[in-house]
Amino acid sequence: MPKNKKDDTSDSDSGPDDCTPAKKSKAVGGSSSTTNAKGEEEWQLDRNRKISINEFKNKLYVNIREYYEKDGKTLPGKKGISLTVPEWKKLLEYADEINEKLKKF
């Protein structure tokens, strides 16, 4: 049964991974981050996407995830990527080159 696009606020077809909504933290020194219900710091990319740093099996990951709203709560979807610290650093190495290419479009 197809979803009604009017009710869908996300491109994600995933369900909730975590039922606790994100909470705003008090910004220290003008920080643009918030703290979620798990106590993890996160940064808002746009209305439906956030970046956070997570630890899993004693390894750190930069998590870029899509979120959706359900019953007034913001919940994480399944769409996203977790980058290891070396992968994140590699991505940042490419940032200037990518920005130069974007100027040409």
Q: Which domain holds residue 41?
A: 33-103
Q: Is the pLDDT of residue 57 over 90?
A: yes
What is the per-residue pLDDT for 68? 92
Residue 89 maps to a domain: yes
Residue 87 maps to a domain: yes
Listed in sequence order, the residues at least 6 apart from 43 whose beta carbon sits closer than 8 Å to its beta carbon are 32, 33, 34, 50, 51, 52
Listing DSSP states for 29-53 in one string gives TT--EEE-TTS-EEEEEETTEEEEE
Residue 50 maps to a domain: yes
Q: Is the pLDDT of residue 51 over 60?
A: yes
Residue 16 maps to a domain: no
Residue 11 maps to a domain: no
Q: Note the pLDDT tens digit of each residue in 2-46.
A: 444 444 444 444 444 444 444 444 444 456 889 887 888 999 999
Residue 72 maps to a domain: yes
What is the per-residue pLDDT for 26? 42
Residue 8 maps to a domain: no
CATH for 49: 2.30.31.10
pTM tops 0.75, yes or no: no
